[in-house]
Amino acid sequence: MTQIYNFSAGPAVLPKEVLQQAAADMLDWHGSGMSVMEMSHRGPEFISIYEAAVRDLRLLLNVPANYKILFLQGGGLGENAIVPMNLVGRVSASATTPAAIDFVHTGSWSGKSVKEAARYANVNVAASGEAGRFTSVPPQSEWKLTPGAAYLHLCTNETIDGVEYNFVPELGDDTPIVADMSSHILSRVIDVSKYGVIFGGAQKNIGPAGLTLVIVRDDLLGHALPICPSAFDWSIVAAHDSMYNTPPTYGIYIAGLVFAHVLRQGGVAAMEQRNIAKAELLYAALDADDFYQNRVEKDCRSRMNVPFYLRDETLNDKFLAGAKARGLLQLKGHKSVGGMRASIYNAMLIEGVQALVDYLNEFAGRK
C-alpha cells in the first residue's frame, strides 16, 4: 500500500485501527457468523453496537441526561430542512405571523441553511460575514436578533471557508442555539448544555457519509410541523431509539469504532491539544512569507479546514501534481472558492501535517 495522507474535506480520513477492525469484522462480527451489514437492527447483536456507540459518545461530549442522541439520515443538507421542520412549530403554533429563525451567515454552509429554512419560516440574517468575504465571525455585539425567534442557527465551523467560532454566544433569553458542527465535532471540548441542538453529518470526524448525528434537548422535542416526515421527526426518532425506521446500521457501527478509538486516545480534550498543535504547524508554514495566503482572521481560523491560495495561482496545477506525487491527496479547494484546502480532522496524524508543511516549504523554495 502507498503511504498517503488524505486531506479530503469529507468523506475524510478515518483512523487506521478503525478500518483494520472493520476489515477483520467484515464477514463475522464477534463470532456471530454475520457481517454487521447483515444484522437485523432489532437483534441483540446490533442493539449492543448501538448502545455502546451512544454510551461512548455521551461520555466523549459529556452529554447531559436531558439531551437525546439520535442517528438520522440525510446529512447536513437534509438536516438544514429537518431542523426547521422540527423547531419552528415551537413558536408559531399560536402566532398569526410565521415563525422567525435567526442566522449568523459565516460562509457557504450557513448560507445554505438560510436558503433551506426559508421553505418553512421567516429567515433573518442577524449578522453576515459576506462583506468581508467570509473571513471572520461577526462579533456578537453586532448581531441583530429577533425577539421570540424559534431558534438561532450557527454553523460553528465553515468547512469551505475555514472559519471557526472561538466562543459560544450567551443570548440572555431562552432562544435555543442550533449548531451545525458537522466538520469540527469531537475536535474540541464543547459545553453541550449551551446549545439546544447540535447536529452534523458524520463524514468528517465521526464515520461514513450517510449517517447524521443529532443531539437535542428534551424540551425541544414534540414540535414537528405536520409536513415533517415521520422518518425525520426527532420526537418519533427519539421515542424509538433511532429505530423507528431502519437506521444506517453500518455507519453507526463505524461511528462506534471511532468513538471508542477517540476514548482510547484520551478523549476530546486530548484530541483538541493535538488539533491545536497540527493547526499551529500548518498555519505557521502558510504565514512564513507571502508565497501562500490564508485569508481568514487569525482568531477565527479553523483548526479543521485550512483553505489557502498560492500567490501565483498559475502554479496551482503544478502544486497539486507535486503534492499527489508525494502522497498528499485531495488538496484542491472547493470549486466555489478555488485555491487549495487542507482538512486536518482528528484522524489526520501530525506526521501528515508535517509532510504537507515540508512540501509547502520545498515548493516555496524556502531553505
Is 290 one of the annotated binding-site residues? no
43 makes contact with a copy of itself (CB under 8 A): yes
Does the annotation count 367 as an active-site position?
Answer: no
41 makes contact with a copy of itself (CB under 8 A): yes
Is 203 one of the annotated binding-site residues? yes
131 makes contact with a copy of itself (CB under 8 A): no
Measured from the CB atom, the residue of 79 and 164 that comes closer to a copy of itself is: 79
CB 329 within 8 A of CB 293: no
Does the annotation count 298 as an active-site position?
Answer: no
Is 29 one of the annotated binding-site residues? no
Which of these ranges, 128-136, 228-236, 270-278, 283-291, lies near a copy of itself under the rule CB under 8 A?
228-236
How many of the chain's residues bind a copy of itself (CB under 8 A)?
A: 70
178 makes contact with a copy of itself (CB under 8 A): no
Among the listed residues 180, 233, 278, 332, the single catalytic one is: 180
Answer for which of 170, 172, 174, 227 binds a copy of itself (CB under 8 A) is 227
248 makes contact with a copy of itself (CB under 8 A): yes
143 makes contact with a copy of itself (CB under 8 A): no
| Phi, psi (degrees; rounded to nearest 5) at 125 | -85, 105
What residues numbered 317-336 form the site for a copy of itself, per CB under 8 A? 327, 329-330
Which of these ranges, 76-84, 146-154, 290-298, 354-362, lies near a copy of itself under the rule CB under 8 A?
76-84
Does the annotation count 180 as an active-site position?
Answer: yes
Q: How far is the CB of 245 from a copy of itself (least distance, A)?
A: 4
Among the listed residues 29, 109, 233, 278, the single catalytic one is: 109
Answer for which of 168, 209, 263, 349 binds a copy of itself (CB under 8 A) is 209
Is 159 one of the annotated binding-site residues? yes
User: Starting from the edge strand earliest in sequence, which strands make up the sheet with 67-72, in order?
Assistant: 67-72, 212-217, 197-201, 177-180, 151-155, 100-105, 122-128
- In the 3-class helix/strand/coil scheme, how is the chain assigned residue by residue? CCCCEECCCCCCCCCHHHHHHHHHHCCCHHHCCCCHHHCCCCCHHHHHHHHHHHHHHHHHHCCCCCEEEEEECCHHHHHHHHHHHHHCHHHHCCCCCCCEEEEEECCHHHHHHHHHHCCCCEEEEEEECHHHCCCCCCCHHHCCCCCCCCEEEEECEECCCCEECCCCCCCCCCCCEEEECCCCCCCCCCCHHHCCEEEEECCCCCCCCCCEEEEEEHHHCCCCCCCCCHHHCHHHHHHCCCCCCCCCHHHHHHHHHHHHHHHHCCHHHHHHHHHHHHHHHHHHHHHCCCCEECCCCHHHECCCEEEEEECCHHHHHHHHHHHHHCCEECCECCCCCCCEEEECCCCCCHHHHHHHHHHHHHHCCCC
Among the listed residues 68, 204, 278, 332, the single catalytic one is: 204
What residues numbered 346-365 form the site for a copy of itself, per CB under 8 A? none
Answer for which of 107, 162, 196, 201 binds a copy of itself (CB under 8 A) is 201
Q: Which amino acid is at 348?
A: M
Active site residues: 109, 180, 204
Residues tagged in the binding site annotation for pyridoxal 5'-phosphate: 109, 159, 180, 203, 245-246
Q: Which residues bind a copy of itself (CB under 8 A)?
A: 1-4, 6, 8-14, 16, 19-20, 22-24, 26-28, 31-35, 37-41, 43, 73-78, 80-82, 116, 119-120, 201, 203, 207-211, 226-232, 244-251, 254, 327, 329-330
Q: Report the binding-site residues for L-glutamate.
A: 42
